[in-house]
Amino acid sequence: MKFRVSVIIPVFNTEDYVEKAINSVLQQPEVAEVVVVNDGSTDKSLQIISKLQDEDARVKIYHHPNNINKGRSASRNLGIKKASCDYIAFLDSDDYYLKNRFENDKKLFSENKNIDGIYNAIGAHFYRESKEFERTALKLTTINEKVNPEDLFEELLHYKKGHFSIDGLTLEKAIFDKVDYFNESLLVDEDTHMFIKMTLKTRLVGGVLDKPVAMRGVHETNVFNNANLYDKSKVYELLVFWSCKNKISLKKIDALLNKYWTFILQEGKGLAKYMKCWFYVFFSNKRILFSMLSIKYFPLIMLRKRIFPFFYKKE
């Protein structure tokens, strides 16, 4: 198939950045359309993207019903449904692509007919004052080396060799028939949830990993600055449910349950909460209820050292 890319950009109140984002996409020769989803912006974002649409017909603007704000996941999902190309990429509206963003991806897809997507490294552009540790940490978001698609789940789950960003992904549109859309109940970490699903059902390979193909905009109003929005246990609970529904191997579900219970225990909400979580997860999924996993993750067993410390020798 011809390598033509639809780039999906959700936009919500990013009047200071969105023009740069869209122009960085339009300069890529492989881009056939820029699918902009205005997510109920109340600033001048819509005026800016409308002007860009007047200047270049590749810019296509969509809205949610009644112009309401539905969040990044719902906006990306709408963009996927509206995209007309066989390949899809994403860009947040305060980020931007670098020159030749898709050059290597085009080559890799041409040479490898059995892959579903490619992940690349991204960098960071600070629009605010930054500290050295921030610049070092965000200098390059990447998987440190190319990983076999079969091993990517384990590597990504435990951050063994780094991680990747949605701005650096290029995907066949058909991938969403395999993994479903973004989960709209997650305010943040929806990309992590999606990446894990992709590693379980599709073949992703590394592209440009030693230098950025895109830049993340770092500023005072970034959503990832708000720690209160993150709910790690919810992410892995949803992944367990999805994996059971999609008949993922029990070995991999075990790994997801391990992460889920790690975060549940970190919350420190007591035995009653743990029991409630166990009943909800296992009785909702008969496949794991009638497996050894239901015993392995039963709260009294998980918490045995805390409840019966006298049975265990002090280290």
Clarify whether residues 192 and 273 are in a common domain.
Answer: no
Clarify whether residues 182 and 217 are in a common domain.
Answer: yes
d(CA 234, CA 277): 11
Clarify whether residues 224 and 248 are in a common domain.
Answer: no
Clarify whether residues 248 and 302 are in a common domain.
Answer: yes
Clarify whether residues 46 and 105 are in a common domain.
Answer: yes
Q: Which of 175, 207, 229 is the last residue of a domain?
A: 229
Question: What's the whole-model pTM score?
Answer: 0.92
pLDDT at 315: 42
The 3-state secondary structure of 103-139 reads HHHHHHHHHCCCCCEEECCEEEEECCCCCHHHHHHHC
On whether the CB atoms of residues 121 and 168 are closer than 8 A, the answer is yes
Q: At what angle do helices 250-267 and 271-283 cross, to 10 degrees?
A: 160
Going by their DSSP bridges, the two strands 87-90 and 169-172 should be labelled as antiparallel
What's the whole-number average pLDDT of the chain? 92
Question: Among residues 303, 232, 305, 228, which one has the least CA distance to residue 264?
Answer: 232
Question: Among residues 253, 244, 161, 150, which one has the least CA distance to residue 204?
Answer: 150
d(CA 37, CA 16): 17
Q: Which of 229, 249, 269 is the last residue of a domain?
A: 229
Identity of the residue numbered 312: Y
pLDDT at 308: 58
Clarify whether residues 185 and 85 are in a common domain.
Answer: yes
Going by their DSSP bridges, the two strands 96-97 and 214-218 should be labelled as antiparallel
pLDDT in tens, 209-258: 999 999 999 987 776 555 556 789 999 999 999 999 999 999 999 999 99
Range of the domain at 32: 5-229
Q: Which of 229, 244, 274 is the last residue of a domain?
A: 229
- Mean pLDDT value of segment 196-202: 98
Identity of the residue numbered 34: V
Clarify whether residues 192 and 274 are in a common domain.
Answer: no
pLDDT at 90: 99
Residue 301 is given by DSSP the state H
Could you give the percent of the chain with pLDDT greater than 70? Answer: 94
pLDDT band, residue 129 (cuts 50/70/90): confident
d(CA 250, CA 292): 10
Cα–Cα distance list, 34 to 8, 16, 70, 79 (Å): 6, 19, 20, 9
pLDDT band, residue 181 (cuts 50/70/90): very high
CATH of the domain at 118: 3.90.550.10
Q: Which helix (H) or strand (E) holds 241?
A: helix 232-245
Clarify whether residues 115 and 168 are in a common domain.
Answer: yes
Into how many domains does the chain fold? 2
Angle 3-192-228 from CA coordinates, rounded to 5°:
140
Rounded-to-10 torsion of CA 104, 92, 142, 205: -50
Clarify whether residues 209 and 242 are in a common domain.
Answer: no
- Mean pLDDT value of segment 117-146: 88
pLDDT at 229: 65
Clarify whether residues 221 and 238 are in a common domain.
Answer: no
Clarify whether residues 280 and 173 are in a common domain.
Answer: no
pLDDT in tens, 262-285: 898 888 777 888 899 999 999 999
Question: Among residues 156, 165, 142, which one has the least CA distance to residue 216?
Answer: 165
Clarify whether residues 239 and 223 are in a common domain.
Answer: no
DSSP states of 60-109:
EEEE-GGG----HHHHHHHHHHH--SSEEEE--TT-EEPTTTTHHHHHHH
What does the block give as tokens for 20?
């740069």
Question: Among residues 313, 261, 77, which one has the least CA distance to residue 181?
Answer: 77
